[in-house]
Amino acid sequence: RLFMKKKEATPLFTQPKSESNEHSLPEHLSGIDNASGKGRFIPHLACTNRTAYSIKVYIISGSLFFLLCMSLVYLNSLAKTSQPQPPATVRSNDPVVSTGAIATSMLHPELSFPSLPNTDDHINRLAFGTGSIQTNALEYWNTIHDYQPDLTILGGDFVHAKCSDNGCDELYQAYDDLVTQPMFVEASKALPIVATLDDQDYGGGEGSHQSNRHKDLARNVFLDFWGASDDDQRRTQKGGIYTSYEWGPLGERLQVILLDTRYARSKFNPTDKPGAQGKEEYIPFDEKDEKGKTMLGGSQWEWLKHQLDRPADVRLIVSSIQVLADGTGLECWRMIE
């Protein structure tokens, strides 16, 4: 469940093309050490027929660790300034979460999370992940901690729980179980983390969508756990907990966009051939039946359009369900076009 290994830093914004083959990946992304000929554990998923280092907008998507273009688990050698950084500022009125303050969990006050990087800081090292069962040992948090990323992005299904007609006790219990895991607790005290929700942590079970009647409770439990303030815009905004962050000066600016693909999403069209290749669970709607269906909801779509107009040199778009998944009948964006 880890797509990372500690390696020598490599620039994010100055990646050169290979002189021998313009379609080959640079050495630091290829997974092959040219000097030794040995493989390196940096897999590349869903990046075929492209030079990964030429892509300016990247999409990370969850569901069974489907992380698009995982060649973005990069090591950037841009030097960090040694001077003290000014207090973080929000660059617009968008739901960009303010950085620079330590957050204390409202569900577990004994748990505090470090402040996020200041908005003028360079992000030199990232870790990505999605899908975690809170009752497992969670040893991978030790590896993430040793990797020392400047930012860890959790793409959903951070805990697994399902609400019922009798309430959401199981969801609260999931977070209670999580804080009994010493490897997570120690790592979370040291690592800046941003996160979004998927079906399991939304308490709706497999395939959760806009009809999940527990979604407002679940998003507030999630925000309480991560120490979001009572007036955090994600608690009340239409369409879910989508948000964005920006770090670095112009010319080296990273934008991270966390989507919510559950809160306002329409129910997918059930398959007519369960288990069949490419039709395992769902099939796309016919054009006549697709009218009125939505993946993000109107409010989030408008917000996303505005986010894509903002100046950034690298954009990471995080989706909790698969984006480029033409060969599957599981949850993915092609089900609603």
The three-state (H, E, C) secondary structure of 92-127, written as one string: CCCCECCCCCCEECCCCCCCEECCCCCCCCCCCEEE
The predicted structure's pLDDT at residue 71: 32
Q: Which residues of 257-295 are buried (b: 16+ CB within 10 A; e: fewer)?
A: bbbbbbbbbbebbeeeeeeeeeeebbbebeeeeeeeeeb
Q: How far is CA 265 from the centre of its chain?
A: 17
What is the tens place of the pLDDT at every residue in 246-262?
A: 999 999 999 999 999 99
Residue 56 pLDDT > 90: no
Q: 67 Cβ partners below 8 Å, 6+ apart? A: 3, 45, 60, 61, 128, 130, 155
Quote the CA–CA distance of 168 and 150 in Å, as a whole number: 34
**CA distances, 187 to each of 91, 190, 229 (Å):** 29, 5, 22
Across 69-83, 104-118, 149-163, 319-333, least confident range = 69-83
Residue 98 pLDDT > 60: no
Residue 271 pLDDT > 60: yes
Task: Give yes or no for a contact between 321 and 65, defined as CB atoms under 8 angstroms apart.
Answer: no
Handedness of CA 222, 226, 230, 232 (dihedral sign): negative
Across 74-88, 125-139, 140-154, 275-289, least confident range = 74-88
What is the tens place of the pLDDT at every residue in 217-247?
A: 999 999 999 999 999 999 999 999 999 999 9
Residue where the block lists tokens 């964006």:
333
Quote the CA–CA distance of 335 and 140 in Å, as a whole number: 33
The predicted structure's pLDDT at residue 64: 36
Provide the pLDDT confidence category of residue 80 given band limits of 50, 70 and 90. very low
Residue 15 pLDDT > 90: no
Provide the pLDDT confidence category of residue 1 given band limits of 50, 70 and 90. very low
Stretch 77-103: mean pLDDT, rounded? 41
Residue 61 pLDDT > 60: no
Quote the CA–CA distance of 239 and 259 in Å, as a whole number: 10
Average pLDDT, the chain: 75
Residue 17 pLDDT > 80: no
In one-letter notation, the amino acid at residue 295 is M
Provide the pLDDT confidence category of residue 127 given band limits of 50, 70 and 90. very high
Quote the CA–CA distance of 55 and 184 in Å, as a whole number: 33
Quote the CA–CA distance of 242 and 302 in Å, as a whole number: 12
The predicted structure's pLDDT at residue 101: 57
32 CB-side CA count, 13 A: 6
β-bridge partners, 195? 154
Per the document, the length of the chain is: 337
pTM of model > 0.85: no
What is the tens place of the pLDDT at every residue in 24-54?
A: 333 433 333 334 333 333 333 333 333 333 3
